[in-house]
Amino acid sequence: MEDENCVFCMIVEGKIPAKKVYDDALMMGVLDINPASKGHMLMIPKKHYNNIYEIPQDEFLQYYSIARAVGYAIMLALAPNNVDILYTKELTKGTVTPHAIIHLLPRYDDDTINHVWQPLKLEESDFAAIGNAIESAIEKVKGADIPKASEKPVEEIKKQEGPKPIEEKKPGITISKKVVVF
């Protein structure tokens, strides 16, 4: 399912060099060559999908599970305030990503990432119409057949006996709960 013109497929295939940080049967994680912050990573599904809505539900859940685990590793390694997990088809106006990638954006006090928007001014009738339209679409989605992947991943995610507390502490990170990753 690779797209020979997709730069992200070429990265996965090794045709374009990248700083690979994570790699398994389903996805590859690379450092972004134009990072928004220190540690900005791109999590690239190895199968080509134009957007997240093409990904079978079971694969989608695995991708986000892996992205969450890698995001937690970034927290441990670099001690940012947080790691934003972001999917967008158009990261900047006019720049469309031809592959369903997940951005892991470490957030720091001095970063220049700006997720600020100008709030719309809507009337109560607008909220009602928008809410009703989305509720109606949700009912259609609930009744739809959700595609499942036709093949199991080559490597199954190994199940651990149970969550283990993380012992290592980095500056600025307080770990008070058991965390399950990978």
The span from the CA of 63 to the CA of 57, in Å, is 10
The number of distinct structural domains making up the chain is 1
Encode pLDDT of 42-70 as tens digits.
Answer: 999 999 998 888 899 999 999 999 999 99
For residue 85, is it within any domain? Answer: yes
Does the pLDDT of residue 84 top 60, yes or no? Answer: yes
pLDDT at 117: 78
For 14, 29, 121, 177, the CA distances from 55, given in Å and listed in that order, are 23, 18, 34, 31
Q: Is residue 169 part of a domain?
A: no
Q: Is residue 1 part of a domain?
A: no
46 domain residue, yes or no: yes
- 27 in any annotated domain: yes
Tell whether 89 is covered by a domain.
yes
Q: In what order do the strands lie in the sheet with 82-86?
A: 20-23, 27-31, 41-45, 102-107, 82-86
What average pLDDT does this structure show over 110-138? 88
pTM of the predicted protein model: 0.73
Domain carrying residue 77: 7-143
CATH of the domain at 16: 3.30.428.10
Residue 153 placed within a domain: no
